[in-house]
Amino acid sequence: MRLSRRMRLGLLAVGLVCVIGAAGVLAVLFGVFQPSVVSDAVNQPLTPAEMAQLVPRGRYLTLAADCAACHTAPGGAPYAGGLGFALPVGTLYATNISPDPTYGIGQWSRADFQHAMRDGIGPGHSYLFPAMPYVSYRQMSEGDVDAVYAYLMTRQPIHQASPRDSFPLPYMRLGMAFWNLINLPSRGFVTDAALSPTINRGRYLVDALGHCGECHTPRDISMGMIPGRYLQGATIEGVDAPDITPAGLARLGFDAPTLAQFMRAGLGPQGVTTFSMYEVIEHSTRYLTPADAEAMADYLMQGAPPPVVVTVGAVTPGTEHGRQSYVAVCAGCHGLNGVGVPHVAPAMRTNATLRLPSDRNLMRIMSDGLPAQSFPDGEAMQPMPGFAHLLTHQELVDLAAYLRSTWGGHPPH
Amino acid sequence: MTIPHRPMSLTVNGKPVGPIDVPNDMMMLDFLHDYLNLTGSRFGCGQGICHACTIILDDPVEGAVEMRTCVTGAHFFAEKRVRTIEGHATRDAKGDILQLTPVQQAFIEHFAFQCGYCTPGFVTGTQVLIERLRKTPIARADVEKTIEQALAPHICRCTGYVRYYEAIRAVILSTPGLVSG
Amino acid sequence: MNKAKLSRRGFVLGGIAAGVAIRVNFLADGARADVIDNPRDARPAWIGPNGKPRFRMDAVAKVTGDKTFTRDFRAKDMPGWPTAQSNALFIRANRADAAFESLDLSVLGADLQPDRLVLGEELVRDGLMPPDGAVVVAPGFYGDRFLVLKGETPRLLGQPVALLIYHDFPQFAAARRKLRFADVIQWGAKTGYHPPPPYGAGRSIRVGGATPADADLYAPLTGTIVGGTFDAQGVVWPAANASGNAAEKAMAAAETIAAGIENAGPDALVLQRRFYSQSVDASAMEPDNGLVWYQADSGRLHAMIATQSPYEVATATTAMVAISKFKLTAIDLSIGYTVGYGTKDHSIFPYYCMIAGLYGDGRPVRLANDRFEQFQMGLKRHAFWIDNTLVIDRKTQSFEAMKGVFRCDGGGRRNFSPEVGFVGMVAAQGIYYLPRSDFSYEAVASRAVDAGSTRGFGTLQTMSATEIMVDEAAEILGVDAIALRLKNVLRTGMKNSQGAIAGGQLRDDELLVQMQTHPLWTGRAERKAVYEAANPGKRYGIGFAQVHKDFGSVAEGAITTLTLDPTGLLSMRQHGNDMGTGMTTSQAMIVAAVLGRAPESYTFGIVDWPEMPLSDEGTVGTQADQDALAQNPRWTPCFLTSMSSSNSAFFIGHATREAARALLRFSLWPAAVAIWSEGAGGGQFGPLSANADEIRFEDGHLTAGGLEPLSYARLAKVAHERGLITGVSVHSFNRWQFSQAIFDVPTIGTMRLPIDALSLRFGDGAGGFRFIDRQQVFYPEVARMNAGVTYYSGMATLVELAVDTASGQVDLLSHHSLLECGNQIVPELVSGQIQGGLAMGIGHALHEDLPLYEDGPGNGTWNWNRYRLPHGRDVAVWTQTTTVLPPLSETDPPKGMAEVVMIAVVPAIANAVTHAIGKRFYATPITPEQILEALS
């Protein structure tokens, strides 16, 4: 998610200069603002009793919406912001959303919060950057946003300013008005009467709270999500966010129950979550109720073919060199036959990373390694070392080919 | 022997070893222990976690690299040069110790270890650190942090790490050229 | 601790296995441990010019990768052994709720089948059962089966069901990889669990007099520790009867305490809290292992075993094999350096190694756990459930009464479970005087991996709970937590919860007073405010706790022999061996303190003592038993104890010091007087009135009262030439008090010494040692067993930490500890023990946790990724500080301290987390998840 936003904004910065120029005319033509999805009812503040009642639900929704991933910097105070998104033109910082009156949202009204979350417009009519996934949160229900608001207001106020964005173009925020005209849906979430309540709940969790598309849906030149390629996977900072359409997930070896389990556990036969998805598990999906995780999985897997089973046979001719490297530096943990070590090292036989269409993520992991990661229920993975300094590029390529052909279902090279 | 194997040669502590027939899938630690009778590198976790089994790979490009032998195949080291704990101190022809390395000397003088099971790994990790600092010195203010990071994966159950880390700091500060400024 | 092993050697050697020769060596002969065995110079290199150790005696061997641990040895390293070695492994049960039916080893294919497969039925047929009967501490100590029989349900998770032996190493290595995590056991019908019956229950009840000085109305020391029995509902205590037997009187006293708690008025604070202390794996870096070679024709059993209790291994193996079909004429046991933190003391593993050797078809067999197997089989620290009630007078803030009900889970083998419960029970009072107390323990059995002797031995669990409770009481009462402790601290002369008075000055109050003025404590409020302002999102806390802990057990036997050769070189023989604590180094320093120099040569780990022909045959149940047995001048209540219970400095050190003193008075002094008296008129000695008290060593020379300093070489020459005493061997015994005996020492006279056996060598020692039968012996009274403890070392720890409210992580910023342990023998070793103990305590408080049953270590999938040991970054390496309280004088004994140092930090961390976030935690470890939950 962090990577995604960084990337998104990177291109955005470049693209915006053009957009702003071209849109000068449009600005004149469209001297109106985007339609709000927020009702007038929010102008009425919530009573303390109403607020208090919303807190438990708000806590859950705040987790489901993964606010902490961006608004809590590593090692930083909860919801105090400060996580930086380094972009080619400057650094954007996540804001302090703790209820501190000076630096946080302590002075925000219920309506302020609703407009920020769902219209992308903060108090004082300041436009948010879409690093804040308000395009997705726009689909959240008014009641859910109220609950998040109520919960955040119970957090410890952190009297700490977020670092100032170092954007060279202060008027870029204004430009977001035009970006919103192109990319912001006019309506919030609409229940699909043709689908079961569970599937609707799943779609709500995926699209609104989980904002999965922000990473998994590719973006166009304006950095808007391309509706026609919904959840088909995208490449962000050199890492593939996989295709999570039903077919894509089946290709990775998931069915609905295993996907639901995977989202709460962060690991399974498909391997361990890596890169930004690990943070999503760590801060968000691990806290989902089983019912919600199942609803998400049911929605995502609708109409999926049966999960792909890769038949493991003999070493594919042409990958013997890769096999030698595997035995030398991988098999100690992942097993000679790719079965892994329970609770210690993931299996290769069923590993989703090997099944991805490209070897991008695999090469990255083999080269740079992975940090130590903890998962729910006491599961913990030691760091995986990188091998870029021990294997030549060709050896890494051969190793990837061996892994992908043996257990990923790909033809060698 | 029905187990697939092939010959390998390597250089251990400056001496050529092999060719020896070694099973294709044997781990280096088993090879060191049960083929070469070099048992100083210790089996701790068998999964690359505790770093009691590490040795130095002297890579022509990378220099000294710390390797976990419990999860690295023996054949990975074919035609390579390695240093095990037995090869750090200077020895005479009979194998008796003539002189310890500064790292070993500091460890014994600081009473750094107790049971000593993890000590070979700590000597190895520290030696690699020292050789790295020789190439890229660090500022005085970064010494403690650098030690923490470099030795972070090494587990010791007896000592609480204090005397190890203090000994390492003493070596770094007393060896010319490791600390800049 | 209460390892009430009162009879072993006599039974073994005089009973069923008479005539079996037992020999135990430290390290195999020919091992490269020359730093210990063969010093090249007169002065060992490890001793500096000032006579202090420059480094540990074992340092060079350990830092250069020499073979030092048992694990390092292969058959080819063992002199006289065949070089072709086999390797063994177990198939272990990963469930304990169904009957074992059969094995399916097809996963190994035809190529990797074992050369020898041993199943439980074969062991039963051959008469091999875990050592039992009088040879071990108690019936069922090691369980009833080595290997699960077909049709039987495993007693515990991880219990071996089959032993596989491979002659070829590559085959073994390949098979082992294939079998790891493989399901090769065919299970029959579900049977439910099948643990042994509960292991034991006990209760220590005391009602003090009107003041601490008054006689107790009831106390175990003068009454009894009450034993509990079990019925289907749980533990059953005797009925109360104020005029009944000792136990019934105790129960009546308990009723008055209960009534007092029940009827406590509003002036009393009655605090009731429940605690949980988790199961922990000691995680000694060297996993259990052994190497055994059995020669069937001659009946010789050779073994190299990693153990803290070689004497126990040697003697119990003898008994075990003697009743089997295997012929046994001699046991030749070697031990290496090892490490276990208690878990290699009285572990069943060595006996499994012996079994492997017996079925090796004449080849040496090595059995060595990997880490998964070690988790699956290694002894654990007991999980404790604690239910405490503390009654405090709100006005005076005095502790009025305390009740503690403790349950510990011993898993599927008895081991030391009741003893751990007992020791935890008697420690539960912490550092406080309690006018009335009622503590009880219940050691239960389960299918969990067996728990046993592990650093802390129950006291970590119970004292941590007490210290967390006292901190909460202070908060409720609105008083300074150290001030409340000072108000109630156990002072010198006050009785412990068994009614016993501790030996020597109690100095807990001094520790409290010092810690109360530490800047971390006095400035805690201000520091909290400053830190939290500077670090948004972090919560800062200071926590304090203090404990004192016993060291040693109810039966401590030790032997040291010192001999002087004709050239003046000193040699030392000792039964102790080094588990990393540095005891070999410190025992040498104890000699140096008396004799002005450390010995030049050493042998440790000795079990075979021709110079000390003692027996500990016979059971001491009553005072009359002991009185009768003690008539035999060659009897002792306990021949040798294992290396455990923080016992080396005080107990083994006592034997060493007495041996050195004896050598000084019986050998060096007479030799010196002989030299000084040469010549007319009594020589230079005649005109002076020097006596032995004036002996001083200057530059390695003996002088006294202005007499000519004499070198060891001169003294030794004279002693040898004139047939004076040139070697002494002493045996000491302690049961919370040292035994004493009167000896008529040839050439010296009659004297009373704090030892119970003495053996002497004269002149060139041609005739060997001469055992000196004691004339009279004074053993500690048997009732001393009920004292619980009388030796305490104290440890206070202040912890400074920050809680990250976003992640729930606890970051230890610093900690400061104050230890009271008498005189330090080698301060560097003491400080290393402190630092190591603190790290282990930190692990217990914050990181280490094991589920007990199916998800736990018995399933064979645990390693140090999930079980997180403290790393360097977790222990505040650079900021921790320690002070050792100066001794009262240079004559304070050195006290055992390796366990006490790990305890105070556990409740101190819990109390600091509470100070940080305002929530209390009653279970360890305190995890980020729990903290986040508490904060939400």
Q: For residue A327, list chain B residues with Cβ-Cβ distance below 8 A.
A: 24-25, 73, 75
Answer for the pair A209, A140: CB distance below 8 angstroms, yes or no.
yes
Q: What is the structure's pLDDT at C1?
A: 34
For residues C414 and A104, give the distance between their C-alpha atoms in angstroms, rounded to a whole number: 59
C532 lies in some domain: yes
Q: What does residue C596 show for φ and ψ, rounded to 5 degrees? A: 75, 0
Does A77 contact chain C (CB < 8 Å)?
yes
Give residues with Cβ within 8 angstroms of C473, minimum separation 6. C269, C271, C390, C392, C484
Q: Are residues C266 and C211 in the same domain?
A: yes
Looking at residue A156, the DSSP 8-state letter turns out to be P
Q: Return the ∠ at Cα B154 (arms to B152 and B157), rounded to 5°.
A: 115
Q: For residue B25, list chain C residues with Cβ-Cβ distance below 8 A.
A: 174, 177
For C651, other C-beta atoms within 10 Å of its C-beta total 26
Q: What does residue C699 show for φ and ψ, rounded to 5 degrees? A: 55, 40
For residues C292 and C303, give the distance between their C-alpha atoms in angstroms, rounded to a whole number: 4
Nearest to A332 among B65, B70, B153 (CB): B70
- Cβ of A327 within 8 Å of Cβ of B27? The answer is no
For chain C, the chains sharing at least 3 beta-carbon pairs closer than 8 angstroms are A, B
Q: Are residues C312 and C246 in the same domain?
A: no
Answer for the pair C317, C352: CB distance below 8 angstroms, yes or no.
no
Helix (H) or strand (E) holding C473: helix C459-477
β pairing state of B179-180 and B138-139: parallel
Q: Are residues C385 and C496 in the same domain?
A: yes
For residues B17 and C871, give the distance between their C-alpha atoms in angstroms, rounded to a whole number: 36
pLDDT tens for C757-801 read: 999 999 988 889 999 999 999 999 988 887 767 789 999 999 999
Q: Are residues C270 and C326 in the same domain?
A: no
Does A52 contact chain C (CB < 8 Å)?
no
Pick from B50, B148, B162 the residue to mutate for testing the C interface (most C CBs within 10 Å).
B162
Looking at residue B27, the DSSP 8-state letter turns out to be B
Does C84 contact chain B (CB < 8 Å)?
no
C45 lies in some domain: no
Distance (Å) from the alpha carbon of A43 to chain C's nearest alpha carbon: 28
Between the CA atoms of C562, C565, C568 and C569, what dihedral angle is there, to the nearest 10 degrees? -60
Q: Are residues C388 and C451 in the same domain?
A: yes
C49 lies in some domain: no
Give residues with Cβ within 8 angstroms of A365, minimum separation 6. A274, A353, A384
Nearest to B118 among C55, C285, C873 (CB): C285
For residues C643 and C933, give the distance between their C-alpha atoms in angstroms, rounded to a whole number: 43
The whole domain housing C891 covers 201-279+381-551+789-851+866-935
What would you report as the CA-atom Rg of chain C, rounded to the nearest whole angstrom?
A: 28
Answer for the pair C240, C254: CB distance below 8 angstroms, yes or no.
yes
Residues of C numbered 19-78 whose beta carbons fall under 8 angstroms of chain B's beta carbons: which are they?
A: 32, 34, 54-56, 58-60, 62-69, 71-74, 76-77
For residues C271 and C392, give the distance between their C-alpha atoms in angstroms, rounded to a whole number: 8
Whether A6 has a pLDDT exceeding 60, the answer reads no
ipTM: 0.98
C323 lies in some domain: yes
- Cβ of A341 within 8 Å of Cβ of B47? The answer is yes
Q: What is the structure's pLDDT at C578?
A: 87
Supply the CATH number for residue C466's domain. 3.30.365.10
Does A170 contact chain C (CB < 8 Å)?
no
A70 annotated to a ligand binding site: yes
Cis peptide before A130 (omega within 30 of 0): no
Does A78 contact chain C (CB < 8 Å)?
yes
For chain B, the residues whose C-beta falls within 8 A of a C-beta of chain A are 24-25, 27, 47-49, 57, 59, 62, 65, 68, 70-73, 75-76, 153
Q: Are residues C579 and C681 in the same domain?
A: yes
DSSP A231-300: TS-EEETTEEE---SHHHHHHTT--HHHHHHHHHHSEETTEE--HHHHHHHHHTGGGS-HHHHHHHHHHH
For residues C40 and B93, give the distance between their C-alpha atoms in angstroms, rounded to a whole number: 17
For chain A, the chains sharing at least 3 beta-carbon pairs closer than 8 angstroms are B, C
Q: Are residues C534 and C498 in the same domain?
A: yes
User: How many domains are there within chain C?
Assistant: 3
Domain B90-180 grouped into CATH 3.40.50.2300: no
For residues C439 and C206, give the distance between their C-alpha atoms in angstroms, rounded to a whole number: 9
A67 annotated to a ligand binding site: yes
C3 lies in some domain: no
All domains of chain A, ordered by start, with CATH? 2-188 (no CATH), 209-300 (no CATH), 320-407 (1.10.760.10)
pLDDT tens for A37-56 read: 999 999 999 999 999 999 99
Q: Are residues C472 and C579 in the same domain?
A: no
**CATH 3.10.20.30 segments of chain B:** 5-87
Q: Are residues C663 and C702 in the same domain?
A: yes
Does A332 contact chain B (CB < 8 Å)?
yes
For residues B129 and B165, give the distance between their C-alpha atoms in angstroms, rounded to a whole number: 12
pLDDT tens for A12-27 read: 555 555 555 555 545 5
pLDDT tens for C648-666 read: 999 999 999 999 999 999 9
Per this entry, what is the length of chain A? 413
Q: What percent of chain A has pLDDT over 70?
A: 89
With tokens 């704090």, the residue in question is C754
Q: Are residues C675 and C769 in the same domain?
A: yes
Does C550 contact chain B (CB < 8 Å)?
no
Q: For residue A347, list chain C residues with Cβ-Cβ distance below 8 A.
A: none
For residues C615 and C721, give the distance between their C-alpha atoms in angstroms, rounded to a whole number: 34
User: In which residue ranges of chain C is pLDDT below 70?
Assistant: 1-44, 788
A333 annotated to a ligand binding site: yes
For residues B144 and B126, give the distance between their C-alpha atoms in angstroms, rounded to a whole number: 13
Q: What is the structure's pLDDT at A21?
A: 57
Residues of A numbered 323-382 whose beta carbons fall under 8 angstroms of chain C's beta carbons: which are they?
A: 336, 341-344, 378-382
Q: Are residues C589 and C682 in the same domain?
A: yes
For residues C366 and C289, give the distance between their C-alpha atoms in angstroms, rounded to a whole number: 8
Single out the residue in C358, C378, C398 at which a domain terminates: C378
Q: Are residues C926 and C903 in the same domain?
A: yes
- Which tokens go with C682? 């009594």
Single out the residue in C378, C404, C435 at which a domain terminates: C378
C701 lies in some domain: yes
For residues C591 and C586, give the distance between their C-alpha atoms in angstroms, rounded to a whole number: 9
* Residue ranges of E strands in C646-747: 695-698, 701-704, 725-734, 740-745
With tokens 């459930």, the residue in question is C385
Distance (Å) from the alpha carbon of C417 to chain A's nearest alpha carbon: 27
Residue C470's closest CA among C458, C460, C480, C457?
A: C480
Whether A1 has a pLDDT exceeding 60, the answer reads no
Q: For residue C77, list chain B residues with Cβ-Cβ distance below 8 A.
A: 37
A71 annotated to a ligand binding site: yes
For residues A132 and A120, give the distance between their C-alpha atoms in angstroms, rounded to a whole number: 8
Domain B5-87 grouped into CATH 3.40.50.720: no
Between the alpha carbon of residue A402 and those of residues A187, A270, A315, A407, C911, the distances in Å are: 48, 18, 8, 8, 54
C266 lies in some domain: yes
C338 lies in some domain: yes
Distance (Å) from the alpha carbon of B7 to chain C's nearest alpha carbon: 14
